[in-house]
A and B are shown apart, each in its own frame.
Chain A
Amino acid sequence: MKATAEPITPDRGITAHGLRKSYGEKSVLEGVSLHIPEGTIFALLGPNGAGKTTTVQILSTLISADGGQARVAGHDLDQEPDEIRAAIGVTGQFAAVDELLTAEENILLMAELSHLDRSVGKERAARLLRRFDLTDDADKLVSTFSGGMRRKLDLAMTLVAEPSVIFLDEPTTGLDPRSRRTMWELIRNLVADGVTIFLTTQYLEEADQLADRIAVLDHGKLVAEGTAEDLKNRIPGGHISLRFSDESGLESAAGLLGSVGRNTEELTLQVPSDGGIPTLRAVLDVLDDAGVQVETLTVHSPDLDDVFLALTGQADAQKENVR
């Protein structure tokens, strides 16, 4: 792991040590430790059932952990849950909006429950509706809203109290690509305001796009942590994929290139590669000299998908092919 710059006020972010939680026999979290400096976006990445939501629920004071300690926004999780509640905002996986209220009423309800003055609440509601492009729909009942609009409103409701730490539990799950991009833009802008964001996602692209640091959670344990670059460097998943017009071409190329992944049905070979020109030229030279015709060639550089699949153990079959 690369060393990151020392945060100025480390206390105001999130720190957790050895969080454990089990439901009956089933262990959901097995000692999760995290450090999220103030003003950064952290992504917790993992497949369904890895324990992402449980981690958010513990850190946002919704449920208590069976073991471990944590500090959120400068307060101890066990001792000062109300101070934490006053400092955080939570946007869950399922939009937590009131369908029988209008968009504006939803935001004003949050303002009132955050004990803001009426005039301040009104002013913030107007500003948030404008910022999230919901002004024209401010007086419509939320039950008429699309999924994307609900998520935007949900985030707006979270922001009314101006929290310093925001938890976003799978904020774009189930959204169409356009709404997802809109959400990403909104989330990116939040950090400009200096808030700390704890994001969970099962989309690698989302973590790659948004997060300063990423941790991969699998079966209740962190299996990797670092920047997107760190994680990509850890898994040399890049390869060159060669396709041949017939089986004899495939066979002779496989003989020449040694230990490579082979797919006889699709007539392709996968040769491990760092994506650099010298390796590529070397492979082509060998095949040229032997007179083997290559139909198509694609270069696959390592992305977070390789990392994710390799680390969460879901890619064993596919990885065998590559090696």
Chain B
Amino acid sequence: MSTSSFALRDSKAMLRRNLKHAQRNPQMTVSVVAMPIVMLLMFVYVFGSALGNGVDLPGASGGSARDDYTNYVTPGFVLMAVATSSIATAVSVCSDMTKGIINRFRTMAISRASVLTGHVGGNVIQTLISLVLVIGVALAVGFRPDATPVEWLAAIGVISLLAIAFSWISAAIGLGSQTVEAASNAPMPLTFLPFLSSAVVPTDSMPAGLRWFAEYQPFTPINETLRGLLMGTEIGNDGVIAVAWCLGLSLLGYLWSRSIFNRDTRS
């Protein structure tokens, strides 16, 4: 295809377009990041003291139960913020599809995937910016990570991979949704998955069936990896599993999106 050489350039043009959208429509960014921040504050201040005794965090000693719990739970809410931020992709993709401009793009000699990569890339950048806010709030309420600069870089890498994975899945959901409202509701289950992982309480405290689910769903290894990088807990093979989940979900989301995007129109 003669357009493939322009794929990068087209994607960059689309990325700039999506970043301008985000900048001019900041309500979406604010609303998707509000929920994990409210949840974080609630868990720290309402449940923190009670739950703090039940979590076991080797690095954190000497602090109050609440401080221990803040350190335990923050990585989980960082991941939750990645999940809620990805909703913005579903919404922006779906609203694009309902407008005339998408047909204009389809009749231009451009890389087809660039429309979607622009959305996904824009969302990943937005997500990383939102996370600065989430981590800032966490630091303000007593989060004390012990990560080295290299560990921070690795943490940002894991978070980015997850953001890419969720953005692609969310893009597919947005493409498959008939209305923008449906697109904003459909990814909701993703945002609740962290509760059924080791993010909020250790999985050993869960009943057998739930524990099994929690240990094998992607959030637990990803969460354990992030917690390990930031708090110095044991990562083991969770790191490899986390990266594999992120790459697998990205590929799934990409292929799913592409098949919906090309459905009923010619390639």
Interface set of A (CB-CB < 8 Å, partner B)? 60-64, 81-83, 85-86, 88, 90, 92-101, 105, 109-110, 112-115, 141, 157, 161
B residues within 8 A CB of A109? 13, 17
Q: Could you pull out 12 A-B pairs where Cβ atoms are within 8 angstroms?
A: A61-B266, A83-B2, A83-B109, A85-B109, A86-B109, A90-B104, A90-B107, A98-B17, A100-B25, A101-B20, A113-B13, A161-B108
Q: In the complex, which residues of chain A have a beta carbon less than 8 angstroms from the beta carbon of B3?
A: 82
A97 and B17 alpha carbons, distance in the complex (Å): 12
Report the bound CA distance from A109 to B114 in whole Å. Answer: 13
Name the distance in Å between B169's Cβ and chain A's nearest Cβ. 24
Nearest-neighbor residue (CB-CB) of A82 within chain B: B109
Residues of chain A contacted by B105 (CB below 8 angstroms): 113
B152: shortest Cβ distance to chain A, in Å? 34
Measured CA separation A114–B108 after assembly (Å): 8
Contact indicator B104/A100 (Cβ below 8 Å): no
How near does chain A come to B264, taking the closest CB pair, in angstroms? 7
Option from A85, A96, A114, A161 in Cβ contact (under 8 Å) with B101: A96
Chain B residue with minimal CB distance to A99?
Answer: B99
The answer to whether A105 and B13 touch (CB under 8 A), given A60-B107, A64-B266, A96-B104, is no
Bound: A35/B217 CA distance, A: 60
Interface size of B as a range? 20 to 34
Which residues from A are CB-within-8-Å of B13? 109, 112-113
Contact B9 A96 (CB under 8 A): no
Nearest chain A residue, comparing its CB with the CB of B21: A100
| Most-contacted residue by chain A among B2, B99, B101, B107 (CB, 10 A) | B107
**C-alpha gap A94/B98 in the complex (Å):** 11
Docked Cα-Cα span, A85 to B24, in Å, equals 31
Question: B9, A115: Cβ atoms under 8 Å?
Answer: yes
Q: A92-B100, A94-B100 are in contact. Are A63 and B264 (CB under 8 A)?
A: yes
CA of A94 to CA of B21 in the docked complex: distance in angstroms?
A: 20
Q: Kindly state whether residue B110 has any CB partner on chain A within 8 Å.
A: yes
On chain A, the residues within 8 Å of B266 by CB distance are 61-64, 81
Across chains A and B, the number of contacting residue pairs, with CB separation under 8 Å, is: 69
Q: How far is the CA of A109 from the CA of B106 in the complex (A)?
A: 14
**Contacts A62-B265, A63-B265 hold; do A82 and B107 have CB atoms under 8 A apart?**
no
Contacts of A83 in B (CB 8 A): 2, 109
User: Which of chain B's residues have a CB closer than 8 A to the CB of A161?
Assistant: 108
CB contacts (< 8 Å) of B24 on chain A: these are: 100, 141
* Cβ–Cβ < 8 Å partners of A85 in chain B: 107-109
Chain B facing A: main interface SS: helix
Task: Give Cα A101–Cα B25 distance, bound, in whole angstroms.
Answer: 11
Select B1's contact among A82, A93, A112, beta carbons within 8 Å.
Answer: A82
Q: Which one of A64, A96, A110 lies within 8 Å of B103 (CB-CB)?
A: A96
Q: What residues of chain A lie closer than 8 Å to B9, measured between beta carbons?
A: 112, 115
Contacts of B6 in A (CB 8 A): 115
Q: Which residues of A contact B107 (CB under 8 A)?
A: 60-62, 85, 88, 90
A96 to chain B, nearest CB (A): 4
- B residues less than 8 Å from A105 (CB atoms): 20
Question: Of all chain A residues, which has the CB nearest B18?
Answer: A100
Q: Besides A61-B266, A113-B10, 17 other CB < 8 A contacts? A: A62-B265, A63-B264, A82-B1, A83-B109, A85-B107, A85-B109, A90-B107, A92-B103, A92-B104, A96-B101, A97-B100, A98-B101, A100-B25, A109-B17, A112-B13, A113-B108, A115-B9
Query: How many angstroms from the CA of A286 to the CA of B25 in the assembled complex?
Result: 75
Which A residues are in CB contact (< 8 Å) with B101?
Answer: 96-98
Distance of A96 Cα from B10 Cα, bound (Å): 18
Which B-chain residue is minimally distant from A101 (CB atoms)?
B20
Which residue on A lies nearest to B114, using beta carbons? Answer: A113
**Contact indicator A95/B100 (Cβ below 8 Å):** yes
User: If the complex has contacts A101-B17, A101-B20, A109-B17, are A62 and B109 also in contact, measured as CB distance less than 8 A?
Assistant: no
Residues of B within 8 A of A92 (CB): 100, 103-104
Q: Scan residues 194-241 of chain B and give those whose CB is less than 8 A from a CB of chain A.
A: none
From 37 to 59 in chain B, residues with beta carbon under 8 angstroms from any chain A beta carbon are none
B68 to chain A, nearest CB (A): 45
Q: In chain B between 72 and 113, which residues have their CB closer than 8 angstroms to a CB of chain A?
A: 99-101, 103-110
Residues on the A chain within 8 Å of B2, using CB: 82-83
Given contacts A113-B13, A113-B110, A114-B108, contact A62 B103 (CB under 8 A): yes
Bound state CA distance, A98 and B20, in angstroms? 11
- Distance (Å) between the CB of B25 and the closest chain A CB? 6
Q: Please determine whether A96 and B99 come into contact, CB atoms closer than 8 angstroms.
A: yes
CB distance from A156 to the nearest CB of B (A): 12
* Chain B, residue nearest A23 (CB): B264
Least CB distance, A115 to chain B, in whole angstroms:
6
Which residues of B lie under 8 Å from residue A99 when comparing CB positions? 99
Q: Which residues of A contact B10 (CB under 8 A)?
A: 113
CB distance from A144 to the nearest CB of B (A): 12
A16 to chain B, nearest CB (A): 16
Cα A226 to Cα B176 in complex, Å, equals: 44
Whole-angstrom CA separation of A95 from B101 in the bound complex: 8
Q: Identify the interface centre among A86, A93, A113, A115: most chain B CB within 10 Å of its CB.
A: A113
